[in-house]
Amino acid sequence: MSLPISGDVGAQEIDITNETSSQHHSEAPYIHKVGIPPKQNLLQEITATVKETLFADDLFRQFKDQPRSRKFIIGIQSVFPILEWGRHYNLTKFRGDLIAGLTVASLCIPQGIAYAKVANLDPQYGLYSSSVPPLIYAFMGSSRDMAIGPVAVVSLLLGALLGEEIDPDIHPLDYRRLAFTATFFAGITEVVLGFFRLGFLIDFLSHAAVVGFMAGAAITISLQQFKGLLGITKFTKKTDIVSVMRSVWSTVNHGWNWQTIVIAVTFLAFLLLAKYIGKKNRKLFWVPAIAPLISIILSTFLVYITRADKHDVAIVGKVKKGVNPSSVNEIFFTGTYLAKGFEIGVVAGLVALAEAIAIGRTFATKNNYQLDGNKEMIAQGTMNVVGSMTSCFITTGSFSRSAVNCMTGCQTTVSNMVMSCVVLLTLELITPLFKYTPNAILASIVISATVGLIDIEAILLFWKIDKFDFATCTGACLGVVFVSVEIGLLIAVSISFAKILLQVTRPRTSILGKLPRTTNYGDILQYPEAKKVPGVLIVRVDSAIYFSNSNYIRERIWRWLGDEEEYLKENHQPRIQYLILEMSPVTNIDTSGIQALEELHKSLQKGNIQLVLANPGPVVIHKLHASKFTDLIGEDKIFVTVSDAIVTYKIGEA
Amino acid sequence: MSLPISGDVGAQEIDITNETSSQHHSEAPYIHKVGIPPKQNLLQEITATVKETLFADDLFRQFKDQPRSRKFIIGIQSVFPILEWGRHYNLTKFRGDLIAGLTVASLCIPQGIAYAKVANLDPQYGLYSSSVPPLIYAFMGSSRDMAIGPVAVVSLLLGALLGEEIDPDIHPLDYRRLAFTATFFAGITEVVLGFFRLGFLIDFLSHAAVVGFMAGAAITISLQQFKGLLGITKFTKKTDIVSVMRSVWSTVNHGWNWQTIVIAVTFLAFLLLAKYIGKKNRKLFWVPAIAPLISIILSTFLVYITRADKHDVAIVGKVKKGVNPSSVNEIFFTGTYLAKGFEIGVVAGLVALAEAIAIGRTFATKNNYQLDGNKEMIAQGTMNVVGSMTSCFITTGSFSRSAVNCMTGCQTTVSNMVMSCVVLLTLELITPLFKYTPNAILASIVISATVGLIDIEAILLFWKIDKFDFATCTGACLGVVFVSVEIGLLIAVSISFAKILLQVTRPRTSILGKLPRTTNYGDILQYPEAKKVPGVLIVRVDSAIYFSNSNYIRERIWRWLGDEEEYLKENHQPRIQYLILEMSPVTNIDTSGIQALEELHKSLQKGNIQLVLANPGPVVIHKLHASKFTDLIGEDKIFVTVSDAIVTYKIGEA
């Protein structure tokens, strides 16, 4: 708080001149009137609200004043961004995309097989899902860094939701069909959200909720890998930690397979080491990127030559050869599973979308380009709809693979095309070689991939900055770990909403005082040096005044007044004559709020205290006028600033 | 906008001196530093939040520094306010209460019988409900004006909800037992809300929702009275307008009873005339108050001497004589109806409570006393719990009867006692006389009472002031009229929540300009005379920055900047160097919000624009510090006012 002397003096002078001019020199200091914005009619009001809600990105601006043919081209380009950036595509860019695509493919193939297992599907479906959707995305996607394919969290969610309806071991065909149905509706959900520009709904899945949900899912998925790691044959279908640990312990004496454990632990150590190396030395980022593929090749070779599968080491078994078969006929378009598929699809689609948008935004900010949320949703949705018809389950952007994509120097979505081609070639040529791949290696790959989903730093930051975010995050995480993925999601969304509602139910109110040597008034808790003005109580309400808080605010102001008057009485000081309500943070008011102000005004009148308003915003002043509240208290009781009110009433400045 | 010349001149002078001192005279103008409130630890933070959320009324203040015996007495007095005001009770007050009590009783007896019919219960239950609950309330209630008893809206809601479970014509006993069970749980709900100080939950049932719901209920109830008015014997159980009108038309040729219609129309005209007289001449308010009783007496006498019941005029029939029998054994404490009763009780209890609190608050403001919401809830709950054990159905405060109570000069809740005694005497002595009361007269009484529930003025006010309130209100009303009471309630609550959420999803942002001849900056839409400062874009965000709006706000600011830069380019004006974010209305920020600011800062840096913050509040500055955002942009970029920032950077003031 120490200031240079010269500054001090200068400021003192301002203060003096100010005081002089407003107090003694001129009788009527200049007081600016509170402005009332021009009245909008209902249609304008609705149009403006709809525009800001649904078209916040000003979608139609680029179409304005263009000939019809140009409009058509812009329209097509906005759906297929490749038509725009494709014109400037060149060999240099392709080199970047090629290297990135090959690297991501090496990561994507083992992860795809592993995540298919997480979703309780056969390994080839993981590869199918890594081929068609990325190809579609390459034409429609607006994020150049995003690597598309199956991801851990969505696979877990899908598996858990599907498993509640159909047991994959007993009815594998129905299970798979329901998976495609859910994928279809997930895609439809995403397209609809994008097309009707309802992308903002995704924002309600807050960052804290997503972090918590991902951490919980990572723990749950890792726990489930005990099955593969320990070579347990009979394992629970439930995902909660209690069931899983009970399953693990109950098989401790019989059912653990030491050969499996040796393979799993060795390669897990290798993968984690590779991860560590990649983290320590940014230049070696390709080490963790190719480690999974190396693990798969090595372990498969090892099992093949030692015939470890004869010693009860579980292996992947026959993987179907050939590119994606059609699955249009497998989608349930009728019957009882239609509704179930729809439900699962909506939930899983929203989560997949939230992940995609989060990833898209992160990389867009990093590489300084804009991500069009709604366009992105249409791309994600289309790729899932097409995917559901070509034997794919729900896909989205993968954070870890997108990071590799970005670091290996991808330039456009062509890297997704490259990856897709590699996966298609794999499907056509070398899938039979995966027969001897041990399940344990897939478990190791999943664990080493999912531990990265637990974002400890973010969780610590939530704790430090916003306890509500921390609660959302831990609630989601514990819900997933201890109960189920749906409960985890529900907890996260509920706490997020409660946070918003609590703030408009019990907003802060504060007492303001004059900041020394300025004409500003600040919260006396924030500015302990601020001085209360004798005879005046200045209260600031930190929220819109709505039905949910109008009574509280009225009663709280009344309590501030009671406390202050008691204090003044005890100290034999002059009583309160003016209650100034600083309304800068009051962004809106509704009829209940106006009623509360009217009641406050009436009560104050009975105590011979004047109600004065400072700085009502455009919306508020409009409504105060419409309701004639301004007439009730008098237009002259409404000022632009607290200072104007104080100066006008010539109080407390002696 | 015209000002007196002298004021003008004075103001000019201030401006000049200001400019002089800050621009030329002194090199370093005085800039107040943004305060950072002392850090609270977690426990303090939680305590403060819990206190403001649950103990906003500072419940324990009166207990502070009191000896233990005194504390006990205060505690007892706070549950039974009669012990406090009873000590000052005197004959003068009693005279007021006696007259009020007698008048209200004359209104309460016919309405009680009529509302029992609305809830599909026998008439005596309406009288029972007008005896015990008001007596309990007299000891515990904190509103001296509230007249307790059965009311139209809650009776309708109860009847509709019960009717979905049990048909009252087929299983009258089970129906009644479920009614008592629901009443019991309604009471428990109210007590629990009051005891755990969760009264604020009631605030979420906004005034607009209640007005709309009441209007819808009034229309629905009136429509149902066609049964009694027209003497229809077979009538639908549904409450929606389509079913009811179909029922009415289908009986138009056979089933309407002309004698009934004559009685009904005559007395309805009489009652409405009485209402009109009371409204025109405030002194004759007792005319509508006693008109229902007179109607009952006259019509009963008329039916008795003409034996109109032989001509198919439906009559009330035998009304059981004697005061309330116990109904403890009739409450379902086990079995399938327990859960149903609980559900119905919670919903009906909340609506009853909302009505009671609204009435209590209205009269408290009118007569200048404070209503303790949580205490009131405990009183309401207790009277319903006791009521459920003494053959009463759900009761609450009646708006029309409370108004009569107030106008006839009630002084304390003793008027409820007087009313209760009159009803008990009626039950003991004259109930058999109600045998020949025609049902038509009850229908007339219900209609004349419920039309008053349609608050046209309030609805027009909603339209004028807040379109969302209007939508809530009409949504609730149409939902009740066209679908069902529950749907109406659901619509109302949904729209209310949507209103809150929309505001934190798509908050207003505005561009500020300097108000001429002041150092204040105002919204250029609200103050068209405000001048933008060259080289600076000042944006105000009108909401807390949360996960639900952080992306929108970031993108919106970016769009403001883009628009402005385009405009400047076209007009060959200097480009933007500073983006000042006026944060007065930003009452809170969460991790997503801070992340959005960080991203904004990064993007701005790339465009060589400085991000400057003005007036962050105590909560916000705290979090900005905790997240090191202040270090990121630099402490020197944060100012108390926009004006300070402008002066510091010596821009645009030439």
B28 falls in which pLDDT band (50, 70, 90)? low
Residues of A in contact with B507 (CB under 8 A): 587
Residues of A in contact with B10 (CB under 8 A): 21, 25-30
B215 falls in which pLDDT band (50, 70, 90)? very high
Indicate the range of B124-128, B355-359, B501-505 predicted with least confidence. B501-505
Q: Which two tokens stand for residue B567?
A: 């405009």
Residue B584's nearest CA partner among A53, A604, A510 is A510
Placement of tokens 């504390």 in the chain: B71
pLDDT beyond 80 at B29: no
Whether residue A44 is contained in a domain is answered as no
First to last CA, chain B: 26
| pLDDT score of A18 | 40
> Under an 8 A CB cutoff, do A37 and B526 touch?
yes
Q: For residue range A375-409, list pLDDT tens digits in order.
A: 899 999 999 999 999 999 999 999 889 988 998 88
Whether residue B486 is contained in a domain is answered as yes
pLDDT beyond 50 at B14: no
B303 and B333 part of one domain: yes
Q: Is B41 on the interface with A (CB under 8 A)?
A: no
pLDDT beyond 60 at A6: no
CA distance B411 to chain A (A): 20
pLDDT beyond 90 at B282: no
Domain boundary pick from A480, A500, A520: A500
pLDDT beyond 90 at B116: yes
| pLDDT score of A17 | 37
Q: Which two tokens stand for residue B57?
A: 């009324």
A109 and A231 part of one domain: yes
B323 and B443 part of one domain: yes
A472 and A565 part of one domain: no
Burial class (CB in 10 A: 0-12, 13-18, 19+), B333: exposed
Whether residue B69 is contained in a domain is answered as no
Indicate the range of A23-37, A157-171, A634-648 predicted with least confidence. A23-37
> Under an 8 A CB cutoff, do A30 and B10 touch?
yes
| pLDDT score of A115 | 94
B464 and B534 part of one domain: no
> Under an 8 A CB cutoff, do B465 and A6 touch?
no
Q: For residue range A206-216, list pLDDT tens digits in order.
A: 888 888 988 99
| pLDDT score of B13 | 34
Indicate the range of A10-24, A477-491, A593-607 predicted with least confidence. A10-24
Whether residue B495 is contained in a domain is answered as yes
Which residue in the set B1, B10, B584 is minimally distant from A33, CB to CB?
B1
Bigger pLDDT: B399 or B389? Answer: B389
Residues of A in contact with B9 (CB under 8 A): 26
CA distance B28 to chain A (A): 5
Task: Please give the DSSP secondary-structure letter assigned to residue A214.
Answer: H
CA distance B630 to chain A (A): 13
Domain boundary pick from A500, A534, A566: A500
Indicate the range of A152-156, B20-24, B169-173, B354-358 predicted with least confidence. B20-24
Whether residue B223 is contained in a domain is answered as yes
| pLDDT score of A134 | 96
Q: Is B514 on the interface with A (CB under 8 A)?
A: no
Whether residue B63 is contained in a domain is answered as no
Helix axes A485-505, A152-165, angle to 10 degrees: 110
Highest mean pLDDT among A36-50, B189-203, B415-429: B415-429
B458 and B518 part of one domain: no
Task: Find residues 535-574 of chain A whose CB sits inside 8 Å of chain B.
Answer: 542-544, 546-552, 555-556, 559
| pLDDT score of B5 | 38
A540 and A488 part of one domain: no
Q: Can you tell me the mean pLDDT for B494-512?
A: 87
Domain boundary pick from A500, A529, A564: A500
Placement of tokens 């508020």 in the chain: A620
Whether residue A596 is contained in a domain is answered as yes
CA distance B528 to chain A (A): 8
| pLDDT score of B654 | 40
Return the sign of the alpha-carbon dihedral for residues B513, B516, B521, B526: negative
A563 and A421 part of one domain: no
A25 falls in which pLDDT band (50, 70, 90)? very low
> Under an 8 A CB cutoff, do A32 and B640 touch?
no
For residue B466, the chain A residue with the least C-alpha distance is: A590
Q: For residue range B549-575, list pLDDT tens digits in order.
A: 998 899 899 989 999 999 999 998 888
| pLDDT score of A5 | 38
* Model confidence, pTM: 0.81
Helix axes B336-366, A591-606, angle to 10 degrees: 40
pLDDT beyond 50 at A151: yes
A644: alpha, beta or left, given left = phi > 0 and alpha = psi -120 to 50? alpha
> Under an 8 A CB cutoff, do B6 and A28 touch?
yes
Cα–Cα distance for residue pair B19/B56, rounded to 1 Å: 46
Task: Judge contact between A230 and A261, C-beta under 8 A.
Answer: yes
CA A543 to chain centre: 24
Task: Find residues 451-510 of chain A whose CB sits inside 8 Å of chain B.
Answer: 458, 461-462, 464-469, 496-497, 499-508, 510
Contacting residues for B379 by C-beta, under 8 A, at least 6 apart: B136, B137, B140, B141, B142, B194
Task: Judge contact between A187 and A379, C-beta under 8 A.
Answer: no
Instruction: Calculate the average pLDDT of chain B.
Output: 87
Bigger pLDDT: A297 or B13? Answer: A297
A401 and A529 part of one domain: no
A485 and A578 part of one domain: no
> Under an 8 A CB cutoff, do A25 and B10 touch?
yes
Q: Quote ipTM for the complex.
A: 0.83
| pLDDT score of A28 | 59
Bigger pLDDT: B616 or A17? Answer: B616
Q: Can you tell me the mean pLDDT for B489-495?
A: 88
Q: For residue range A348-364, list pLDDT tens digits in order.
A: 999 999 889 888 988 88
Residue from B43, B207, B550, B641 whose CB has the most chain A CBs within 10 Å, to mutate = B207
Which residue in the set A15, A461, A626 is minimally distant from B465, CB to CB?
A626
Task: Please give the DSSP secondary-structure letter assigned to residue A413.
Answer: T
Domain that holds residue A474: 90-500
CA distance A497 to chain B (A): 9
Bigger pLDDT: B282 or B113? Answer: B113
Helix axes B467-478, B456-465, angle to 10 degrees: 140
Count of structural domains within chain B: 2
pLDDT beyond 50 at B1: no
| pLDDT score of A19 | 37
Contacting residues for A108 by C-beta, under 8 A, at least 6 apart: A130, A147, A149, A398, A401, A419, A423
A159 and A238 part of one domain: yes
Return the sign of the alpha-carbon dihedral for residues B36, B41, B42, B44: negative
A614: alpha, beta or left, given left = phi > 0 and alpha = psi -120 to 50? beta
A29 falls in which pLDDT band (50, 70, 90)? low
Q: What is the CATH number of the domain that holds A639?
A: 3.30.750.24
> Under an 8 A CB cutoff, do B621 and A526 touch?
yes
In A351-471, at which residue ranges do the beta strands (DSSP E only) sit?
396-398
A482 and A336 part of one domain: yes
Whether residue A60 is contained in a domain is answered as no
| pLDDT score of B69 | 85
Q: For residue range A157-208, list pLDDT tens digits in order.
A: 999 999 999 999 899 999 999 999 999 999 999 999 998 888 778 788 888 8
pLDDT beyond 50 at B135: yes
> Under an 8 A CB cutoff, do B587 and A542 touch?
yes
